Structure 1
Amino acid sequence: MNDATNDSPASVLTVGQRIRFLRERRKMSREVLAGLIGKSVSWVKQVESGRLQPPRLPLLIQLAEVLRVRNLAELTGDQSMPVRMFTGPGHPALDDVRQAVNATPLQATGTVQPLSYLRNRLAAAWRARHASADHRTALGALLPDLIRDTQLAAVMYQGENRRQANAILAEVYGLAQMFLAYQPAQDLLWRVADRSLMAAQESDDPLALSCAVWFLGQAHRDAGDFEAARAINEQGMAAIQPHMDDPSLDLLAMWGALNFELAFTMARTGDSEDAWLYWQEAGRVADRLPADYYQPWTSFSRIIMGPHAVTIAVELSQGGESGRQAERTISTPIPSRPRRGRHLIEVARAHHLQRDHEAVLGTLELAQQAAPETIRYNGYARRMTLELVETGPAQLRPQARDLADKIALLI
C-alpha cells in the first residue's frame, strides 16, 4: 500500500476515495453498497466525496467485509487490523478438515466402507450439527474421517455404486462448507463448494445436484458476486425442473429452498419486488410439506418461512417490516440450535435497523445462549456487539463487554 498501482489505492487517498476505489474495483454501484451496509445512497456519495467524516470502526469493518478487503489499512491507510478479527476465528479442527479435503485419493487403494454405513454416518453428523450448541466442534470431530472415507468410496466403487458414492460425497462437502463458513479459509470453502457440484454431476442425482447448487449459490452470494449466485441458482432449478412432476419430499423441499435463495439474493441487490415474490413462492412450496418436516441441509420447512421473512426484510433495510416479522417469529421453535442462533442474530439486526440498542443486546445474548459457536463466527453479530461496546448507550456497555468476552471479540 506504499505505492500507487492499478490494483490498490495510493496511500495518499482519503478514506472516502479508498471506499470509492474499492467499490468500483468490484464493479459495485453505490445503490448496492448502500443496501449491503444499511445506509442511503446519499450517505455513500457524501462519504466518498469527503463531505462526511470517515465512518467509525464498526461501519469500517462492515465496509471491509462487503468490499472484500483483508485489512482495514486498505480502507484507512494507517490502521493495520485483519478483518478476520471480526469475521470469526479459525476453529481448532480447521487444519484437520483441510488435510482431509486435500488428501483426495488418486488411486483406488484402501478399504472402502459400505454405502449404507457412510449414509448413516452422514445422517448422524447432520443430527449432531443441529443438536449441538457448539456445532463446529461437533462437526470438527466427525468431518475429517467422513471426508476421507467418502472420497475413497467415490474412487473405489464402480457403476451405480460410484454414482451413489458421489451423491453422498456431494452432501459431505456441503456439510464441510457449513463448518468452514465465516472462518479464515475462503480458499478451502470454495474448494469444497466446487467439488460438491462436480460430485453431484457425477452422481446423476437431481437431489444431490440441487443440494450442491444451493451451497455454491451461497458461496457466490457471500462473496458479493450476486450475478453468479443468481445464475447458478437458476441453472440448478432448470436442471431439476424435469424431475418436479412427481418429486420426492426432499427434492420438493430443495425446490423451495432454491426459491428462497433467489429471494435472498434479490434482497441483497435491493430488488424488493422480486425478493418478496420468490419468498412467497418458497412459502407455497413449504405449504406442500408435512407440518413436522425439517430438511437437515437447508433447514427448509414450514416453520422456517417466518425467519426467512425476517432475513428478507433486514437485507432490504426495511426497518418497520423487519421489526414486525421479528416480533412474530422471536419464539419460533426452530429444531436446530445453530439455525435458531442465526435467526436470533437476524432478529437483532431488525432491532438494529430500528436503533433499539437494548433489544439488540438482549437478542444477541439469547443467540449466545442458544448457539455459542454461531454467534462467535457471525460477522453481523460481532459487528453489532462491537458497536455496542464502542458507541452504545453508557448503561449497556458493561453488559456488551461481557458478551464481547463470551464471543472472543476482544481477545
Structure 2
Amino acid sequence: MSPDATPDPYANPMAFGQRMQMLRERRGMTRQELAGLLGETQHWVKNLESGRTQAPSVETVYRIAETLRVRDLADLTGRPDMQFDLFIGPGHPRLAAVREAVDSFGLASSQQAPSAAHIAARIRRAWSARHSAPNHREVVGELLPGLIRDAQLAVKQAQAPADWRAAQAVLAEVYSLAQFFLAYQPDSSLLWRAAERSMVAAQQSDDPHTVGVSAWLLTQAHRDSGRSHYDAADAVNRQALALLEPLLADAGNDVLAIAGALQFEAGYTAARRGETATAWRYWDTARSMASRLPEDYFHPVTSFSRAIMGAHAVTVAVELHSGSESVRQAARSEANTIPSRPRRARHRIEQARGYHLDGQPEAAIATLNLAYEAAPETIRYNGYARTIVLEQAESKVTARRRRASELAVKIGLLAA
C-alpha cells in the first residue's frame, strides 16, 4: 500500500471520529488545519474525533470528505451502503480502447508511421474538437487510440535525431491530451502512466514548451493525489519554471502562456495548503503574464489567457474555503468569455462551489445547471459537482430538492 493510500476501514471497524482522525493523519493534516478548512474550531474537530460529539449531518460528512480528499464515502463513514466515489466518475465507454492503446507499444507492428507533422496536425484538430464539443470526452476518446499508436510508431521508426525529437514532442502532447480524457476515470494508475510518459517524451524532445505542458499536468496529478504529494507538485512546478524563466524576455505566446499557467498552478497548490498570501501572489504574477498575451489568445492545452484569470481567481478563493471571496470573484468573472466549452463548464462548477461555501445552495444548483448546458460530460465526471448535487437532492426544501434531483438524473447520479 502506498503511503497516502486510504486504509481498509473494514479491517477493524471503528467509529466515524476514529476514521476521520486516521484519514486526517494519513493526509499529514493537523486538527487546526482541518478545522480552518472546514470553518470550525479545533475543539470541534477534537470532540468529533474522540467521539464526544455524534456523527455529523450528511452535509458536514460531504464537507469533511471533500477537505480530506476521501475517494469513497464508505472509507469515512464505515458504511458499505454509502460506497460512493466522490472524485472518480463512472468509466467512460471508450476507456478500454484508450487503455489498450496506452499499454500497447506496437513493438511487432510493420505499419509505416505517419510523419510527426501529420500527427501534430491531427492533435491540433483534436484540441479544437475538445474545446468545441459538449461531449468532449467522447470526441477525444474516439481519436486517442489512433493518435497514441501512430505517435508511438513515429518515435520507434524515426531515424534522424531531429525527426526523433519531433516525434517525441508529438508523443508527449498525445499523452497530455490523454490525461484530459483520463481525469476522474476509475483507473488512476493509467492516468499516472500517461502523465509520466508525457514528461519522459517531453524531455527527450528538448522542446521547452512541450516540457512545460507535461510539467503542468504532472503538477496537477501530484496535487490531486493528496496532501502528501504537494511537495512533489511544487518541485515539478519550480523545475519547469526555472527552465522557462531565461526564455521569457523574448518568448512567443505559447511559451509565455505555459509559464503563466505554471505560475497559477503554484498558486493553486498554495491555496490547497491554506497559504492565502502565497496563493494570491502567484495568481497576481500569472495575471501579469496573461496581460502580455494578445486579447484573443487562448492556449490550446491549459486554456491560459486573459479571459481565464477571472476563473482562476474563483478557484483560488474556493480552495482557500472563503465563501464570501469566492462569490465576490464569481461576480467579477465572466464565463461567456471562455471559448472552451469544458473549461467554461469547469468554471461554472467552481462558481457553484463558491455559492455552496457561502451558504447559497439555490445559486449553486442554478450554476451547475449552466455547467451542464456548457458541457454535460464535464459535470458528469466532476466530484465536487456530484457532491453538491447529491447533497441538495436530499434537501428539506421541496423546490430545491426537485431541481437538484432533476440535475442528478441528467448527469447519471439518480435513476429517472
Instruction: Choose from 183, 186, 193 the match for 1:184.
Output: 186
The question of 1:222 aligning with 2:224 is answered: yes
Decide whether the 8 Å contact of 1:193 with 1:216 is kept in 2: yes
10-19 vs 297-306, which moves further:
10-19
Q: How many residues align?
A: 406
Q: Does 1:265 align with 2:266?
A: no
**Pairwise CA distance, 1:63:** 4.2
Comparing 246-255 and 8-17, the one that deviates more? 8-17
1:103 maps onto 2:107 in alignment: no
Superposition pairs of residues 305-320 of structure 1, within 5 angstroms:
305-320=309-324
Can you list the C-alpha shifts for 1:109-131, whole angstroms capped at 9, x where unaligned? 42110121101100000000000
**CA deviation after TM superposition for structure 1 residue 377, in Å:** 0.4
- Equivalence for 2:3: none
Gaps of 5+ in 1: 1-5
CA distance in 2, matches of 1:184, 1:29: 29
Q: Provide, for residues 299-341 of structure 1, a one-character-per-residue CA deviation record: whole Å limited to 9, x for no partner.
A: 0000100110011011111122111111112444210000000
> What is the one-letter code of the residue matched to 2:179?
Q
Asked if residue 281 in structure 1 is aligned to residue 285 in structure 2, the reply is yes
Measured after TM superposition, the shift of residue 32 of structure 1 is 4.4
Would the alpha carbon gap of residues 332 and 11 (structure 1) be closer, same or farther in structure 2, given more than 3 Å must change? same
Q: In the alignment, does 2:133 pair up with 1:135?
A: no
Task: Determine the structure 2 residue equivalent to 1:3.
Answer: none
Q: What TM-score results when the alignment is normalised by the length of structure 2?
A: 0.92
Q: What is the CA–CA distance in structure 2 between the aligned matches of 1:171 and 1:39, rounded to whole Å?
A: 43
The secondary structure found in structure 1 opposite 2:190 is: helix
Report the alpha carbon displacement of residue 50 of structure 1 after superposing the two structures with TM. 2.1
Alpha-carbon distance in 1 for matches of 2:171, 2:367: 37
State the alpha-carbon separation in 2 of the partners of residues 370 and 38 from structure 1: 32
Superposition deviation, residue 47 in structure 1: 2.0
- Give the structure 1 partner of residue 366 of structure 2: 362
Once residues 167 and 407 of structure 1 are traced to their aligned partners in structure 2, the CA distance between those partners, rounded to angstroms, is 36
CA contact (8 A) 2:65 2:76 kept: yes
- 1:147: Cα distance to partner? 0.8
Counterparts of 1:333 and 1:238, CA distance in 2: 31
The aligned runs of 1:244-259 (5 Å cut-off) are: 244-259=248-263
State the alpha-carbon separation in 2 of the partners of residues 250 and 38 from structure 1: 40
RMSD, aligned CA: 2.1
Partner Cα distance (1:39, 1:146) in 2: 49
1:343 CA displacement = 0.3
Within 5 Å, which residues of 2 pair with 1:12-411? 12-34=13-35, 41-61=42-62, 63-64=64-65, 67=68, 71-84=72-85, 87-106=88-107, 109-158=110-159, 159-224=161-226, 225-391=229-395, 393-411=397-415
Seen in structure 2, the aligned counterparts of structure 1 residues 393 and 378 have a Cα distance that, compared at 3 Å, is: same
**Superposed CA offset, 1:196-238 (max 9, x none):** 0000011111111000000000001111121111111111111
Residues 245-296 of structure 1, C-alpha deviations (whole Å, 9 max, x = no match): 3212100001100000001000000000000000000000000000000001
306-315 vs 329-338, which moves further: 329-338
Q: What SS does structure 1 have at the residue aligned with 2:250? A: coil
Q: Distance in 1 between matches of 2:186 and 2:38?
A: 21
The letter for the 1-side match of 2:147 is L
Shift of 1:107: 5.9
C-alpha spacing 1:361/1:72, structure 2 compared with 1 (3 Å): closer
The CA distance in 2 between the partners of 1:243 and 1:117, in whole Å, is 28
Given the superposition, is the C-alpha separation of residues 40 and 306 from structure 1 closer, same or farther in structure 2, using an over 3 Å criterion?
farther
TM-score normalised by L of structure 1:
0.93
Contact 2:71 2:88 in 1 (8 A): no
1:166 & 1:380 partners in 2: Cα distance?
35
CA contact (8 A) 2:74 2:84 kept: no
- Partners of 2:190 and 2:254 in 1: CA distance: 27
| Gap runs ≥5 in structure 2 | 1-5
Q: Residues 106 and 39 of structure 1: is their aligned pair in 2 closer, same or farther, counting only changes over 3 Å?
A: farther
- Kept in 2, the 8 Å contact 1:100–1:148? The answer is yes
Counterpart CA distance in 2 for 1:127 and 1:22 is 41
Q: 1:120 to 1:209 in 2, by over 3 A?
A: same
**Whole-Å separation in 2 of the counterparts to 1:40 and 1:194:** 40
Q: Secondary structure of 2:12's match?
A: coil
CA distance in 1, matches of 2:24, 2:15: 14
Structure 1 residue matching 2:139: 3-state secondary structure: helix
Relative to structure 1, the CA distance from residue 301 to residue 151 in structure 2 (aligned partners, 3 Å threshold; closer, same or farther) is same
